[in-house]
Amino acid sequence: MSRLFLPSLVTVIFLLESIIVQLVSQPLFDVYLLVPRMLLVFIVFITIFIGQTEGMMYGFIFGLLYDVTYTELLGAYAFAFSLIAYLIAKAMNVLHKNAWTASFFAIVAIACVEWYVYAIQLVIGGTTMSVSTFFQARFLPTLFIHTIVILLIAYPLKQTLLKWHEKRDESSPV
Amino acid sequence: MPKFFLNKRLIILLVSIMVLVALIGFSLKERNELSWMEKFVKDTVVFMQSIVHKPAQFVAGFFENVNDLRHTYEENKRLKEHLEQYVLLQSEVESLKKENERLRELLNKKESLRDFVAIQATVIGRNPDRWEETLIVNKGSQHGVKKDMAVITPQGLIGKVRSVSPFSATVQLLSAKNRQNRISAFIQGDENVFGLIEGYDEEREALLLKRIPYDAKIEKGQRVFTSGLGGIFPKGLFIGEVEEVVADEYGLTQIAYIKPAANFYDIDDVIIVKRKIEMSQEEEEQ
C-alpha cells in the first residue's frame, strides 16, 4: 500500500458524497432526507486509529474543500470536522481503541454535526424547517442509515487503516 | 480566573470561533464573484468529480435502463397518441412564427426578450449537505456562463446560476430558501397577470408567486412563465401551473401557489440560458 493510498481514498469518498446525492436525490418515500456523512466517519476513524494530527489535518482540509465547493459557506465544516477530531483524540486518551468505540464516536459525531449545521442554517436564515421536522425527516433517518453502514464497515476499515499506518511507519525513515 | 485565560487551548478555540463567524459573515455577503482561490479549488474538484462521475453514472444508468425497459410498451402507446397532436401543433407553430417574423419586420423590431442562446451543461454533483439545494455543472465562465443566468430543463425552469468559476458553475434551484431568489413572472391568460416568484413552500412543494394585484382573476391550471422584466432572464420560460390562489396576510395582494413543471430531483442535463437582448446592449456599451 503506497503512501498515497489514504489521501486518495478519502478524496474519492469526498467526491462520491456529492455524486451519490446527485444520482439518488429523490427523498426516500418522499419524506426522508438522507444526508451522506461518510467523510466524517472516515475522519473519526483516522483520528482514532492513525493519530490526532492526521485526523485534524484531514478534518480541516476536507472540511474546507466541502465548504468551498459544495456549501459556499466558508469555515463551517472545516471548523466542525477539526474540532470533532480534536475532541475524539482527547477522549481516546482514556478509552480503548477498538472498532466499537470508533463506531460509537462516529455516530455521535454525525449527530453533533447534523445539529450544528441545522443551528447555523437557522441562525443565518437558510432554512425554516421546524425542529420536529428536522428530527423526524432528516436527523433520525440519516443516523439510522449511517449506524447500519458503520457497523458493516467498522472492522474492515479499522484493519485497513492500521495496516496502512504500519506500512507507512516502516517505510518512512525516522 | 487569570489561569482560565492563560489556557492556550481555550484561546485557540475562541480565536477559531471568531474566525468562523467572520468567514460565515463573509460568505453570506452578496458577492459578485468568487475569490480566485475558491475558483481554483472548485475547478480542481469538479475536474476530479467528472472523472469519478462517469462510472458512477454508468452503474446508476444500468438500473434506470432496466426500469425503463419495463415501461416501454405503455410509453410507446402514449407517445404515438401524442405524436399525432404534435404534427398539428408544429404546423401551427411554424405559421405563427412566420407571421411573427413578418410583423416584426414591419415594426422594424428585430430582437425580443424571448430570444436566447442555450448553453448545454451536464450536472456532475449536488450539494451533499442538502440544506441549500444546489447543483454543480461542468460549464463555466469560459463557456459564457454568467452569474444569475436562468437554468432550465426541457420541462421548465429549475433555477439560476449562483456562482461561476472558469470551468464550472453552481446552480441554485428554485426550491432553495434564499431571499435573493426572486424571479419576475406572469400568469398567462386573456390578460397577463404579473407577479414575483418569492420562496418555496416545502410542505406543498410549490413555488410562491406573490404581489399579484388583488383584483386579478386567476384560475387553477393557468400556466406561469418568466416575464423577462427582471433583468437577465429571457421571456417565456415555462415555470409551472397555478395550483391555488389565496389572499396575502394583509389582503392587499394575492399569492398563488405554483406547481413547478420541472422535477428538481432527477436532473442529469441542464440548459443555461443566455438572453440575446442583454448581449447586444453590452456590445453597444463596449
State the Cα torsion B141-B143-B146-B150 to the nearest 10°: -150
Q: What are phi and psi of B85, to 5 degrees?
A: -65, -35
In tens, the pLDDT along B46-80 reads 888 888 888 887 887 787 778 778 888 888 888 88
B161 lies in a domain? no
How far is it, in rounded angstroms, from Cα A78 to Cα A66?
A: 8
Q: Is residue B11 part of a domain?
A: no
Residue A169: predicted pLDDT: 73
pLDDT per position as a tens digit, A159-173: 888 888 888 777 655
Interchain CB distance below 8 Å, B126 and A65: no
Q: Rounded distance, CA B231 to CA A64, Å? A: 34
Tell me which of A9, A10, A13, A25 to substitute to probe the interface with B (most B C-beta atoms closer than 10 Å).
A25
A21 touching B (Cβ < 8 Å): yes
Average pLDDT over residues B124-132: 86
Concatenated DSSP letters of A141-167: HHHHHHHHHHHHHHHHHHHHHHHHHHH
Determine, for residues B132 and A71 on separate chains, whether the beta-carbon distance falls below 8 Å. Answer: yes
CA distance A78 to A56: 10
Residue B153 in domain? no
Asked if the structure places residue A81 within a domain, the reply is yes
Residue of A nearest to B133 (CA): A71
Mutation pick from A10, A12, A74 vs chain B, by most beta carbons of B within 10 Å, is A74
Question: Phi, psi at residue B164, to the nearest 5°?
Answer: -130, 140
> Distance (Å) from the C-alpha of residue B36 to the closest C-alpha of chain A?
11
Whether B107 contacts B125, CB under 8 Å: no
Roughly what angle, to the nearest 10 degrees, separates helices A140-171 and A5-23? 160
Determine the Cα–Cα distance for residues B39 and B156; give it in Å rounded to an integer.
Answer: 29
* Domain total of chain A: 1
Cα–Cα dist A143/B121, whole Å: 34
How much is the mean pLDDT over chain B? 83
pLDDT band at B286 (very low <50, low <70, confident <90, very high): very low
Does a structural domain hold residue B53?
no
Say whether pLDDT at B279 is over 60. Answer: no
What percent of chain B shows pLDDT beyond 70? Answer: 91
pLDDT on residue A171: 64
Chain A residue numbers with beta carbons less than 8 Å from the beta carbon of B132 are 71, 126
Range B98-122 average pLDDT: 80
**Shortest CA gap A102–chain B (Å):** 23
- Domain ranges, residue A76: 5-168
**A21 contacts B126 by C-beta, under 8 angstroms:** yes
| Confidence (pLDDT) at B193 | 86
CB contact under 8 A, B17 and A120: no
CA distance B60 to B189: 42
| Number of domain units in chain B | 1
* Burial of B230 (C-beta count, 10 Å sphere; 0-12/13-18/19+): middle
With beta carbons under 8 A apart, name residues in chain B contacting A79.
16-17, 20
Residue B255: inside a domain: yes
What mean pLDDT comes out for the span A133-159? 90
**Min CA distance, A166 vs chain B (Å)?**
29
Instruction: Retrieve residue B32's grid coordinates.
Output: 459578485
> Are B128 and A117 in contact (CB < 8 Å)?
no
Selection from A118, A104, A115 nearest residue A147 by Cα: A104
Q: Is residue A173 part of a domain?
A: no
DSSP string of B28-90? HS--SS--HHHHHHHHHHHHHHHHHHHHHHHHHHHHHHHHHHHTHHHHHHHHHHHHHHHHHHH
Q: How far is CA A19 from CA B48, B125, B135, in A?
A: 11, 5, 10
Choose from A17-26, A147-156, B78-87 the range with maximum mean pLDDT: A147-156
Q: Which residues pair with B213 in a beta bridge?
A: B253
Residue A62: pLDDT band with limits 50, 70, 90: very high
Alpha-carbon distance of B230 to B148, in angstroms, equals 11
The closest CB to that of B41, out of A15, A25, A69, belongs to A69
The pLDDT of residue A110:
94
Which ipTM was obtained for this model?
0.81
CB contact under 8 Å between B56 and A16, yes or no, is: yes
Tell me which of A12, A13, A14, A22 to substitute to probe the interface with B (most B C-beta atoms closer than 10 Å).
Answer: A22
- Is B126 close to A11, i.e. CB distance below 8 A? no
CATH code: domain of residue B208:
2.40.10.350
What is the reported pLDDT for B284? 47
The CATH number for A124's domain is 1.10.1760
Query: Coil, helix or strand for B193?
Result: strand
Could you list the residue range(s) of the whole structural domain that residue B233 is in? 182-260
pLDDT of A29 reads 64
Which residue of chain B comes nearest to A118, CA vs CA? B131
Average the pLDDT over A4-9 and give the result.
Answer: 88
Residue at B116: amino acid letter: F
Q: Cβ(B205)–Cβ(B216) under 8 Å?
A: no
Nearest CB to B127 within list A20, A70, A79: A70
